Amino acid sequence: MTEDHRMADFMTKIEKGQKIEANDWMPDDYRNLLIKQIHMHAVSEIMGAYPEKEWVPKAPTIRRKMALNAKVQDEIGHGQILLRLAEDLSRPYGRGREALMDDLLDGHVKFHNVFHMPAPTWADAGVIAFLVDGGAIITQAMLLDSSYAPYARMLKRIVAEESFHMQYGESVVLALAEGTSFQRNLLQEAINRWWEAMMFFFGPRQMGQSAQKMMRYKIRTKTNEELRQKFINRYAPRLWALGMRIPDPAVKQDPQTGEWGYTEPNWALYTEMVRNNSGPFSQARLDLRRRAHAGNRWVREALNHASVKPSAAES
């Protein structure tokens, strides 16, 4: 079969809503977009555990500490699962786990810097779990429909675990909202700090080339703007119900179209942050990651030498 025919067959499959498996033929373009997306997703999960774990000693009750620990374990677990998918896709390029993790330390892969902005109070920890995780859940729920079956399957598992993250985030925010005026004030200030970042989180209305191609290949099924609208539609009314203000007077719903208004975030600032991993705490947390990765390399190597190859054991 010629390359053109293969491509035509592939696109027919995609358009029919059929799923692609790791060992199926796929255009390089599709493979590379998947690697980019899943690699970014994986390292975002791993890097996302760093700001979270910092709250374990500072969390107000033992139950919150246990919940945070459980969340950190989940994020690392999700990172592992997703890295395996990225590794399978990277096989034709001869790149495995070490290479994919080195990419993170060498700045060759992006991650969600939005998790790495200043979070001075417990209310910030709550708002991150409520709004930022909430945004991530919306994105991941969309990916349940992805044309790449191994990704969609794993997301079923991930989203099921995120269910606890969602309830946890709500629980922290609700507890603050039901608290003293001091606590309610903390909550309001944290919302003020995080709202703009959430508008950035979903990306620009006019999507980049890669994002548009991902739509064509049905790797993702909704536009940045659709995701942002779903987010505002869920969270703005709830914040208001709690008696909180949204630090953007443009956030209101057009009664005719149902469309939500919002003020454009400072795209230049945030884009720069993603490009250079220059979120206020991104580099510090990358250093922690670097220490863990480089410092433990000898352990990985020792284990590698110590493990008996099955064929050798049998003969």
Partner 1 sequence: MPQGEYLVYEVFVQRQALDFHVNVGSLRAANAEMAIQMARETFFRREEVYDIWVVPEHCISSSPHDAAHLPVHAMDKKYRLPRGYDNAPHWKKFKAKAMTIEDVANEMTGGGGEGSR
At 265 the three-state DSSP class reads coil
Distance of CA 141 to the CA centre of its chain: 11
By CB under 8 A, tell whether 225 contacts partner 1: no
By CB under 8 A, tell whether 95 contacts partner 1: no
Among 152, 215, 246, 274, binds partner 1 (CB under 8 A): 152
Residues 175 and 264 sit within 8 Å (Cβ to Cβ): no
By CB under 8 A, tell whether 233 contacts partner 1: yes
Among 11, 56, 76, 174, binds partner 1 (CB under 8 A): 174
Among 14, 35, 38, 67, binds partner 1 (CB under 8 A): 67
Residues 260 and 251 sit within 8 Å (Cβ to Cβ): yes
Cβ contacts of 32 within 8 Å, gap of 6 or more:
none
Among 42, 114, 131, 177, binds partner 1 (CB under 8 A): 177
Q: Which is nearer to partner 1, 216 or 297 (CB)?
A: 216
Piece of the chain touching partner 1 by CB under 8 A; list 111-119, 137-145, 182-190, 283-291: 137-145
C-alpha to C-alpha distance for 277 and 142, rounded to whole angstroms: 26
By CB under 8 A, tell whether 277 contacts partner 1: no
- From the list 108, 34, 67, 87, the residue with the least C-alpha distance to 286 is 108
Among 30, 55, 168, 194, binds partner 1 (CB under 8 A): 168
Four-residue CA torsion sign, 124, 223, 139, 53 = negative
Among 104, 136, 138, 286, binds partner 1 (CB under 8 A): 138
Q: Name the one residue in this structure whose structure tokens are 């790495």.
A: 116
Cβ contacts of 17 within 8 Å, gap of 6 or more:
147, 218
Residues 47 and 111 sit within 8 Å (Cβ to Cβ): yes
Q: Name the one residue in this structure whose structure tokens are 């035509």.
A: 8
Cβ contacts of 246 within 8 Å, gap of 6 or more:
191, 195, 236, 239, 240
Among 163, 206, 212, 263, binds partner 1 (CB under 8 A): 163
At 113 the three-state DSSP class reads helix
C-alpha to C-alpha distance for 32 and 111, rounded to whole angstroms: 17
Among 1, 16, 57, 160, binds partner 1 (CB under 8 A): 160
Number of residues that bind partner 1 (CB under 8 A): 42
By CB under 8 A, tell whether 60 contacts partner 1: no
Piece of the chain touching partner 1 by CB under 8 A; list 34-42, 47-55, 80-88, 146-154: 146-154
- From the list 184, 9, 182, 39, the residue with the least C-alpha distance to 102 is 39
Name the residue type at position 10: F
x/- track of binding to partner 1 for residues 6-45 (CB under 8 A): ------------xx-x------------------------
Q: Which is nearer to partner 1, 100 or 129 (CB)?
A: 129
By CB under 8 A, tell whether 162 contacts partner 1: yes
By CB under 8 A, tell whether 56 contacts partner 1: no
Which residues contribute to the site for partner 1 (CB under 8 A)?
Answer: 18-19, 21, 63, 66-67, 70, 137-138, 141-142, 144-145, 149, 152-153, 156, 159-160, 162-164, 166-168, 170-171, 174, 177-178, 221-222, 229-230, 233-234, 237-238, 241-243, 258
